[in-house]
Each structure stands twice: as C-alpha cells, then as structure tokens.
C-alpha cells in the first residue's frame, strides 16, 4: 500500500503525518479546513440552530439567523462581482454585522482586509489603495471617515438599513454562490 502524507496546520506550525489509508490525505485536509469560522457556523446552524452565535448589543443572534444573513450577503457580494481574487475592506466595530461581513467574504473566497476603526481618513485611504480594496463594508458611525478618505470604491453600511446598507442590499435576494472546496 502506498504511503501518502498529510500536512496539517497545528499551532502555526505545519505537521506532516504519514497516512497509509487511501484517501486519508484528503480526509485530514478536510478536517483541517473544517476548523474555519464559516465551517463552524455551518455545523452549528445544522446541529444546533437556536444556539447563540453572536450578540448585537442586547440582542442575541442564533446560528441559524447568522447563517441566513451570511448566505444573503454572500449572494450580494457574488452579484457585485466579488469572489476569488477580490479584496474587501472591513471597517467595523465588534457586532453581528462584523461577523456577517467577515464570514460572507470567506464564503465567496475573497480576501478580507481588516481596517482599524480608529484609523484616520488618510490612513484608511492609504491602506485601501495599498491592499487593492474593491469594496468597503463599514459602520454607519464611521461614514464621515470613509467620505473624507476620498476612496473611489463601492461601500456597504454594515449596521444600517435602506439604500447602501447590507440589509438593503440583501433585500434583493441574490442567491449565494456554491462554496468551493479548497484542495
């Protein structure tokens, strides 16, 4: 029987193990991937849909609710052409909208750039240009910083409602793309 090797990320260091079972390398690779936050949310939404996944002030968002929101936003991102090779900036404080946006970016396999909420407009503009940000998701309270930064990229407001917000964009019901399995 042939020996295959599986490499797992373990504590930041790669661990290579010999595997004698056919297909075991793929199994180990899948197990390693399943530790991603999105995979954990998918599992929680299926197994325990009413379990708390995030808090938004005093409101608790369940795993099923967060999964539904993430899936809708992933559809919006996909409809806007965001996917593999794209970069999305995230300028949000710690709330459910932050988790929704970060997980939706992971769903469409785009790159996520986290921007410090205390960044100056000049710093925000410099980071966005350097990283090639194609879409910026931000809190409504941080809109003045985004406007003063002079960014010429589309934006979505993470915690608002109506036109230009994540909630408003999700109202159109774009279907989420199928998640790609990574090799």
174 or 129, higher pLDDT: 129
117 and 165 together in one domain:
yes
CA distance 95 to 84: 26
80 and 11 together in one domain:
no
Asked if residue 153 lies in contact with residue 136, where contact means CB atoms within 8 angstroms, the answer is yes
**pLDDT tens digits for range 111-124:** 999 998 899 999 99
CA distance 58 to 18: 49
**pLDDT tens digits for range 23-54:** 545 544 554 456 778 888 888 888 889 998 88
Asked if residue 137 lies in contact with residue 117, where contact means CB atoms within 8 angstroms, the answer is no
Per the structure, the complete domain to which residue 137 belongs is given by: 51-170
CA distance 143 to 28: 44
In a domain, 116, yes or no: yes
Task: State how many domains the chain has.
Answer: 2
């Amino acid at each position: 029987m042939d020996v295959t090797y599986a490499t797992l990320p373990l504590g930041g260091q790669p661990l290579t193990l010999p595997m004698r079972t056919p297909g075991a390398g793929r199994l180990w690779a899948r197990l390693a991937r399943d530790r991603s936050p999105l995979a954990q949310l998918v599992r929680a939404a299926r197994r325990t849909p009413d379990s708390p996944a995030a808090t938004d002030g005093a409101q608790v968002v369940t795993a099923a609710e967060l999964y539904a929101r993430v899936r809708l936003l992933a559809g919006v991102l996909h409809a806007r052409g965001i996917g593999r090779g794209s970069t999305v900036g995230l300028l949000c404080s710690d709330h459910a909208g932050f988790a929704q946006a970060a997980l939706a970016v992971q769903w469409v396999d785009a790159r996520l750039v986290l921007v410090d909420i205390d960044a100056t407009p000049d710093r925000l503009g410099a980071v966005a240009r350097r990283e090639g940000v194609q879409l910026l998701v931000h809190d409504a309270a941080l809109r003045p910083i985004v406007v003063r930064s002079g960014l010429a990229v589309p934006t979505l407001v993470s915690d608002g409602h109506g036109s230009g917000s994540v909630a408003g964009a999700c109202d159109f019901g774009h279907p989420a793309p199928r998640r790609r399995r990574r090799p």
